Amino acid sequence: MAQNNITENLNAWNKLDRYSKWIYHMYEKYIGKEVLDIGGGVGTAISFYIDKAERVVATELFENQVNIMNKRFENYQYFKAIQADIMKDDFSAYDKFDTIILINVLEHIEDDRKALANMKKLLKDSGTIIICVPAMPGLYCYMDKNVGHYRRYTKGELRVKAKRAELQVIEDKYMNFMGILPYWIKGKLKKDNGGSFSTSIDEGESKLYSIATSILEPIERVIKPPIGISEFIILTK
């Protein structure tokens, strides 16, 4: 996926700030003090938890995103963004982490089993790996392909891959049941516009999604959806 497409997609998430906060609330309680954020983007998720951490290392593949994050969090001496690839680069210079976060990242990695094994090596014995991925393979469409998704997941698939990496599942849950229909409509009935779901949202739609999120989040906190557009899985050694 080209760097300009990645930047456009990340910037589009700024229109979905309320939704980004909902995602954060899904894993907030599992965040420790020493965090490795793989695929930190432009720091949207990091901004929600950085004040609670004592050490944060964020990785990105492209220098532009690394520079944006280092500038954004320049007042935090315990923050560092680096240009690195979890599949290739050596992280031995860093102490192990009690929290590793991948928000909408694992689906971009072709060999996700190896990625899980590599993360295990960087995790403290009592630590957690927080993963959010797009769910429901039947929804896979041009919007996934345009942003470099190799797949969408089922609960069973991710659990099996975690087990093979000798990781234990603490929690596994779906999120955003109501998002399934609009994603299906845009992905299956509308023409490929060369972008992603987030870049296809106009100002009016972003306001509507903000309202819908405010309603849906407290409902799903009480009533766990049997399916959803995203899956969260929390892993440990």
Mean pLDDT (10-residue bins), the chain, 237 residues: 55 72 96 97 95 97 95 98 94 92 96 96 96 97 92 94 96 95 89 74 78 94 96 97
SS3 content of the chain, % helix, strand, coil (to 5): 45, 20, 30
Nearest alpha-carbon partner for 86 in 102, 64, 68, 97: 102
Tokens representing 38 are 């793989």
Q: How confident is the model at residue 172, as a pLDDT?
A: 96
Fold of 3-236: Rossmann fold (3.40.50)
Nearest alpha-carbon partner for 234 in 190, 173, 165, 151: 173
Q: How confident is the model at residue 4, as a pLDDT?
A: 52
**What's this model's pTM, rounded to 2 decimal places?**
0.91
Backbone dihedral region of 105: left (phi > 0), alpha (psi from -120 to 50 degrees) or beta? alpha
Q: How confident is the model at residue 2, as a pLDDT?
A: 47
CA distance 195 to 145: 9
Q: How confident is the model at residue 70, as a pLDDT?
A: 98
